[in-house]
Amino acid sequence: MMENRSIFTLNSLGGMLIAVLLLLSVLAFLMVKAVGAQQDNASNFYKIENAKEIKMFSTDSAKHVVDVKQGV
């Protein structure tokens, strides 16, 4: 029986190259999205209102934090 042992079949070198290119393209896409998200939030800051009323062990502490970009 003769087997197809070509080095350029999809199961060997060609398949590996396709898989590597696919993984690199996914990595590039995710990096572009991460850099974009970081740039969007780099100038965004928060303001704490009524800092004297914040208690250490309270679940209402998050109500004192105001997103300045959304408030404008």
For the question of whether the overall pTM of this predicted structure is more than 0.85, the answer is no
pLDDT tens-digit profile of 32-70?
999 999 988 887 787 888 878 877 787 777 777 777 775
pLDDT tens-digit profile of 1-14?
556 666 656 667 77
Domain boundaries, the chain: 13-71
Cα–Cα distance measured from residue 69 to residue 48, given in angstroms and rounded to the nearest whole number: 13
SS (H, E, C) 14-65: HHHHHHHHHHHHHHHHHHHHHHHHHHHHHCCCEEECCHHHCCCCCCCHHHHE
